Structures are given as C-alpha cells and as structure tokens.
Amino acid sequence: MNIEERVRSLLKEIPENVKVVAATKARSVDEILRAIDAGIEIIGENYVQEALKKYETIGDRVEWHFIGHLQKNKVKYVVPRFDMIETLDSLELARVIDKHAEKNGKTMPVLIEVNIAEEPQKYGISPSMVKDFIKDLTSLRHIKVEGLMTMGPLVENPEDIRPFFKRMRELFEESKQILPEMKYLSMGMSDTYRVAIEEGANIIRVGTLIFGPRS
C-alpha cells in the first residue's frame, strides 16, 4: 500500500470519535501533503525548527500538534503556530507557555504528558502527581488543559502495554472529576493504537503506519 491507501484504510478502520495525529518527524513535505490529501487533518511534530520549516509550505490547512519534548526557550515559536501542545511535562514549562499565550492573545490548548510506567529516562508527570499538577495549573489563565497524553513503555507485544493504557484511562476519569472540560486521551502509536482505542484513547499518534519505516 502507498501513503494514501494506508491513510484511507486507517480512517475507515477506527471509530469516528478517534482523532488521528500523523507523526511527521523526518517525513518530507511531499509525503505529508499526500497524507493530507488522503484525509489526515492533524499533524504532530517533535522538533521546532523542522516544524517551522514545514509550516511555511503546509500552513493552516491542517491542525498542528506539538508532540516532542518542548524546551522553554522554544516556546515562543510554538505558541503562535501550534493548535495544541500534547507534551506539557512541568510547571515551569506551563508558566512559560502561559506567558507567551497571553502575549499572543491566545489560550493555548495543552495535554499533560504522563510518565505512566514511571520510567526514569522518560519525560512526563508521575501518575501519582497528576491531580495535584492539574490543580497547580488552574491559576494559569492562558492555558487550557484538554486532557492527558502518554508515550507508554516500549513493548514487544502490543498486549503488554494494555495495563498501562488502562491505568491512563482511570487517571483520565479521575482527572475529569477535578476538571470536567478535559476531553482528550492521547495514547497509542503504530504498534499499539488498536489496544489504545479499546482502552479509551480518542487521539492516536501514528507515523510508521502511514508513512512506512523511516529510512
């Protein structure tokens, strides 16, 4: 299958309420435009410079989600261009996003990144701290917390990630009791998106599945 066929078959397969973020790191503008032509409406970029370069050509015909680790000194470039930051992982970062959102006359939609398996090398809020973190964010008026996101641990068998996705879903439900307007649970990648959807994801982020293995 080519890019267009893979996009169409994915969109046909998944429930209508599930949004697909095409993870486009290291993919060319040409490949991305083909995915958009086939029905992709959101692209996810990990690196600021790379994203800004692609934005010059692709522009606002799609939504832009930031899905990489965001450094505080890059926030000023991300806030005006992006429609969502999926990887909010510290209060310091939240304060910087809030400041730049205010400057831009904008309320920035964010997801809280959760380090669901508490892996030392991974970014994200520890699951036990998420609810306190949400409360800490309520004073920041130019940030809108719209949900939770996780990478999850690397697994050999997609079934092995199910318990972590289940825990994310529970955390999402508990978080909604504090902040009822939370609506997105972003989890699942090319290998694990089916399990993620079964466990309640309504945003999946897929790269390889659409574009093939990276060269």
Ligand X SMILES: *Cc1c(COP(=O)(O)O)cnc(C)c1O
Per the DSSP assignment, residues forming a β-bridge with 19 are 203
Minimum Å distance from CB 177 to ligand X?
Answer: 27
Applying CB under 6 A, the span of 99-107, 131-139, 159-167, 202-210 interacting with ligand X comes to: 202-210
Which residues from 27-86 bind ligand X, rule CB under 6 A? 46, 67
Question: Do 204 and 21 touch, CB atoms closer than 8 A?
Answer: yes
Cβ closer to ligand X: 69 or 176? 69
Residue 17 DSSP class: T
Q: Out of 189, 195, 196, 201, which residue is the one contacting ligand X (CB under 6 A)?
A: 189
Six-digit token string for 57:
């050509």
56: Cβ contacts below 8 Å, ≥ 6 apart: none
Cα Rg for the chain, rounded, in angstroms?
17
Interacting residue with ligand X among 81, 155, 190, 194 (CB under 6 A): 190
Q: How many Å apart are CA 52 and CA 169, to the nearest integer?
A: 33
- Identify the residue among 11, 18, 19, 25 touching ligand X (CB under 6 A): 25
Binding site for ligand X (CB under 6 A): 23, 25, 46, 67, 151, 189-190, 205-209
